[in-house]
Structures are given as structure tokens and as C-alpha cells.
Amino acid sequence: PLYRPAPERYDAMEYRRTGRSGLKLPAISLGLWHNFGDDRTLDSQRAILRRAFDLGVTHFDLANNYGPPPGSAELNFGKIFAQDFAPYRDELIVSTKAGYLMHPGPYGEWGSRKYLMSSLDASLKRMGLDYVDIFYSHRFDPDTPLEETMGALASAVRQGKALYVGVSSYTSEQTAEAARILREMGVPALIHQPSYSMINRWTEEDGLLDTLEAAGMGCISFVPLAQGLLTDKYLKGVPEGSRATQGKSLDPNLLSDEVLRRLHGLADIAQRRGQSLAQLALAWVLRDPRMTSALIGASSVTQLEENVAALAGAPLSDEELKEIDSFAVD
Ligand code: NDP
């Protein structure tokens, strides 16, 4: 049946300005890394995407290689987009990336102009879009001049194939240099996409948010729930069908007694706040106003709803932050 988005979709969501740009992003964005490949039904994908938009989640994040198999998340998204979301293109921020292995041969990964430009064309074709809102260099390429990689991003903007550009998992130093090069080309760097969660704080040690602030860039953090570790899901063992059972990116051996002790400590703090562990984890990632968005994954509508409801929680107090550190930091 025809999709009619909820008229109240903009009432509750919080939107944050991305660095010093004109673009606002929802505080919670939805990523299609898992749960949108050919291993999931189109109906379950459609239900998650529709509910997200109904809740004001205006940003969907993809990459050339999301699946499985690589490319299928963009194809599936494209099918659902054409049927459900095409009339709302101007209300949506769609991103894609190139950097990881997409096809064999010397032009199938990393950061050459050859790979980035052809990959973006292929992504647009798969999704059935004329342009993406944000195109990312998915990872820093130590062997390609940064001028070439950033030059490809700038070309994508000039050709109208991307409105904005960003980088993912670049260090603070690499980011500052990328931003400088892009500025000189007249194409500002919009955003950085790093991993960040209560149990993954490399960006803090690297001073990334300060670098981004100086460069006028925003920040959207991926894997804020540590792929599900920072939710109530694994507190009582590993449930059937969860990501840790799928032999993919989440190793069930991570769930040692010591890790479980820490997760239970964090879950107790969440419970005292009337939140789930996932909601605490998201409130924590978003506690700095320079953080533009937390980029979550969800395998069900229920998870998505629980995660978006994190935004209704009280701000974290200094005591709570200290207590979180006592469990989350080694
Ligand atoms: P999360 O840390 O948000 O993990 C999502 C997973 O956690 C879900 O698939 C689900 O797992 C579980 N989960 C989520 N919410 C709940 C809940 N409320 N209760 C219980 N379990 C829950 O992030 P992802 O690893 O999915 O990554 C998010 C996005 O970040 C990606 O889709 C992608 O867009 C981006 N990303 C970017 C990268 C980059 O290099 N730039 C790298 C990795 C991700 P289950 O399937 O077990 O139900």
C-alpha cells in the first residue's frame, strides 16, 4: 500500500547543525551497513525505513559495499526509495561512501580519483538517485596523495553528484589536512564519520572534536551501540538471530565475564535513569553539542523506536558520567 509519512514526523526529533554549515541532521540517524542486504526481506527493510522517517529520522547512511553482497543495500534502498520515498527526496539526506573493497583489480578500493568517481556513479545508479547529499572518502589512503582523493570529492560536488562531502575514520591530523585542501578547492568539508561509543574513545584521545570545531565540520558517530553490545540484548546471554550469532562483524567471544560485569554496571546506571542501556549509550555519545548525530543500526522497528526515544532522557550529570567511566574505561 501507498506510504503516507506521519504528518507529525518533525514534532519530536531534535535536529543539530552540522559544524558551521547550513545543514541540520537528526540527532539519531539510520545506517544500512547491516540489516539491508539480500539476507533480509524487503518488507522488514521497508518497515524500518518508513518508521524511521515517521519519527523524523531524515538521514539514511549507506556505502558502496553495504550488503551482503556488496552493493545490495544500495539496490534494496533504491527499490524502497522509488516506491515510498521519491516524493520526499527533498526531505531526505542520503549519504554514500567509497574506500573499502568493492570490486577486484587495482581500481576497486582505497582513494584514487579513478575509484571514487566510478564508485559514486555506480552507487547513484544502484539507488536510482541523481545525487547523494553527502559523499564520503570511507578511509584514508596512505598511498594516494590527499589532494587527489579530496579532488575527487570536490569534483563530485562540482558535477552535481553530491551536495556535500565528508571523510570517515581519518585521524585528527589527516582531517585537518583534508579540510584545508578542500577549502582551497572551494568545497568545504561538511562532516567526519568516526567510530565512537562509551567503550571506544579513540576520537577523544586524538582530539578529533576540537579539530572538527576549528575546521567548521560536524561529526556523526558510527557504531554508538558497539554493534549491540551496549544494549540490553546480551546481558543474559547471546540471543538467537543476534549479530553475534551470525559470524559476521561481532565476535561473541567479546562477551567475557569481565565485559558482562561492566555491561551490567552500565545497565544499572541506565535503569536508575529510567532508560535502557542502548538509550544511555546514545545519550552519552550525544552529550557534547558538537556531536551532530549518532548513527545507529537497527534490525527491527522496535529497536529503532527504543533508540530514538533516547532523546527524551534527562541530560547526564557529572556523577553519572564518572560512574559510566568507572565501568566503561579500562
Ligand atoms: P550500532 O552500534 O547501532 O549497532 C546496531 C545493532 O545493535 C543492531 O543491528 C542490533 O543488532 C543491535 N541493536 C540496536 N538497537 C538495539 C536495541 N535497542 N536493543 C537491542 N539491540 C539493538 O551500529 P551498527 O554497527 O549497525 O552501525 C551503524 C551504522 O554506522 C552503519 O549502518 C553504517 O551506516 C555506519 N558505519 C560506518 C562505518 C564506517 O567505516 N564509516 C563502519 C561501521 C558502521 P542485532 O542485529 O543483533 O539485532
* Tens of pLDDT, residues 52-73: 999 999 999 999 999 999 999 9
Nearest-atom index, ligand 1, CA of 136: 41
- Is domain 15-328 annotated with CATH 3.20.20.100? yes
pLDDT mean over 22-50: 98
Read off the pLDDT band of 1 (50, 70, 90): confident
Model ipTM value: 0.99
What percent of the chain stands above pLDDT 70?
100
Choosing from 60, 222, 230, 292 the residue with most ligand 1 atoms within 8 A of its CB, the one to mutate for a pocket test is 222
- Express each pLDDT in 229-280 by its tens digit: 999 999 998 999 999 998 879 998 889 999 999 999 999 999 999 999 999 9
Report whether pLDDT(322) > 90.
Answer: yes
Query: Best of 39, 225, 300 to mutate for ligand 1, by most ligand atoms within 8 A of CB?
Result: 225
DSSP per-residue string spanning 147-203: HHHHHHHHHHHHTTSEEEEEEES--HHHHHHHHHHHHHTT--EEEEE-B-BTTB-HH
Would you say the CB of residue 307 lies under 6 angstroms from ligand 1?
A: yes
Q: 300-316: per-residue pLDDT in tens?
A: 999 999 999 999 999 99
pLDDT for the residue numbered 330 = 83
The CB of 233 under 6 Å from ligand 1? The reply is: yes
* Distance between CA atoms of residues 49 and 59, nearest Å: 10
Note the Cα 199 to chain centre separation in Å. 17
What is d(CA 293, CA 157) in angstroms, rounded to the nearest whole number? 22
CA distance 275 to 265: 13
Q: Which of the four pLDDT bands, split at 50, 70 and 90, describes residue 94? A: very high
What residue ranges do the domains of the chain occupy? 15-328
For range 270-295, the mean pLDDT: 98
The one-character DSSP state at 81 is I
Q: How confident is the model at residue 106 (pLDDT cuts 50, 70, 90)?
A: very high
Residue 153 has pLDDT above 90, yes or no: yes
Q: What is the mean pLDDT of residues 271-292?
A: 98
- The C-alpha cell at 27 is 540527532
Distance between Cα 25 and ligand 1 center (Å): 18
Over residues 36-53, mean pLDDT: 98
State mean pLDDT over 176-205.
98
61 three-state secondary structure = strand
Q: Tell me if residue 25 falls in helix, strand or coil.
A: strand
Mutate to test the pocket of ligand 1, among 233, 263, 302 (most ligand atoms within 8 A of CB): 233
Helices (H), 36-112: 42-54, 72-80
Q: 218 in ligand 1 pocket by Cβ < 6 Å?
A: no
